[in-house]
Amino acid sequence: MRGATLGYGRRVVLSGVELDIPRGDFLGLVGPNGSGKTTLLRAMLGLIKPLAGTVDRPVPDLRFGYVPQRKTLDDVWPLRTRDVVIMGLYHRMGLFRRPHAREREAALEALEAVGMGPFADLAFDDLSGGQKQRTLIARALVTAPDVLLLDEPTAGMDLPGAEAVLGLLRRLHRKGLTLVLVSHLLNEVVSTAVRVGLVGSNGLHVGPTREVVTDAHLSRLYGVPVRVVSVDGRLLVLPGGAAEDGTGEDRGAGR
């Protein structure tokens, strides 16, 4: 993105956006509600055009996998888990053609990749929140994407389910997949992403996690005191009043 202004109609959400995403990156986007995180994803996908500036793909045939917020999928439809994954292939097979053996096999391989193979024939509505999220990630992976974009993938999940999804994303990144993760959960992003983008009223500020995730940057972004401490080598974001880590030593990041 070069000098990109993003928004809808006459409503500007973000302006002056400068962003490069190199191959193999793991970028986490955080910021207050309504700051423009999802808008950035839509611009990357080409779902919205910039109001000004440019959004370019240096590799024209780049394939994207997209995992939307789980609430956007209607659980009422009586779909099996495998059927939900096959939905990712509709653009290739057409809406009204029944899936062939190759599509069913590709869906099963994607489910196996996220640890959901044994659940392929279960009703999607009967899965737990974490299992549903891994199924949606499989739906994105079945397209063999070069870049995987995820919008709030752990929203509303319990701790074991969220950690299972984040662990899966780490493994996918280690295998070379490029990922962009949007989340309002700061600690999940700083413990997972390699780079962090702070999205706020002052635009987009991107850099390595330990350079961007600091007391000053986050306090300015959210308008409240925030502390960043290191616990066992990992960053932890705390409310402003909590200034000590688990050892009782103040080790604020960015100092």
SS (H, E, C) 129-143: HHHHHHHHHHHHHCC
Question: Per the structure block, which two tokens stand in for 70?
Answer: 């789980």
Check whether 168 has a pLDDT greater than 60.
yes
Helix ranges restricted to H, 114-247: 129-141, 159-174, 186-190, 209-212, 215-222
Q: Is the pLDDT at 112 greater than 90, yes or no?
A: yes
- For the chain, state the CA radius of gyration: 19
pLDDT of residue 88: 86
**pLDDT average, residue stretch 151-180:** 90
pLDDT higher than 80, residue 205: yes
pLDDT over 60 (residue 76): no
| CA 28/CA 51 separation, integer angstroms | 24
Q: What is the pLDDT of residue 72?
A: 56
More confident residue, 141 or 78: 141
Cα distances (Å, whole numbers) of residue 217 to 46, 90, 180, 205, 243: 29, 43, 20, 9, 16
Residue 123, amino acid: A
Q: What is the pLDDT of residue 210?
A: 92
pLDDT averaged over every residue in the chain: 87
Tell me how many degrees the CA angle 39-42-45 measures, rounded to the nearest 5: 155
Q: How confident is the model at residue 254 (pLDDT cuts 50, 70, 90)?
A: very low
Whether the per-residue pLDDT at 96 is higher than 50: the answer is yes
Q: pLDDT tens across 135-151, in order?
A: 999 999 998 999 999 99
Q: Give the residue-averaged pLDDT of 194-207.
A: 93
For residue 65, what are the β-bridge partners? 148
Q: Does CATH place domain 2-239 in 3.40.50.300?
A: yes
Tell me the three state secondary structure of residue 30.
Answer: strand
What is the structure's pLDDT at 97?
Answer: 67
The domains of the chain are located at: 2-239
- Residue 139 carries which side chain, given as an amino acid letter? R
Pick the more confident residue, 105 or 254: 105
Q: Are 150 and 179 in contact (CB under 8 A)?
A: yes
Which pLDDT belongs to residue 245?
44
Residue 208: CB atoms within 10 A of its CB come to 11
| Cβ atoms 157, 165 nearer than 8 A | yes
The whole-number pLDDT of residue 243 equals 46
Q: What is the C-alpha to C-alpha distance for residues 185 and 201, in angstroms, rounded to an integer?
A: 19
> Per 3-state DSSP, what percentage of the chain is helix, strand, and coil (rounded to 5)?
35, 25, 40
pLDDT at 74 over 80: no
At residue 55's C-alpha, the angle toward residues 165 and 223, to 5°, is: 60
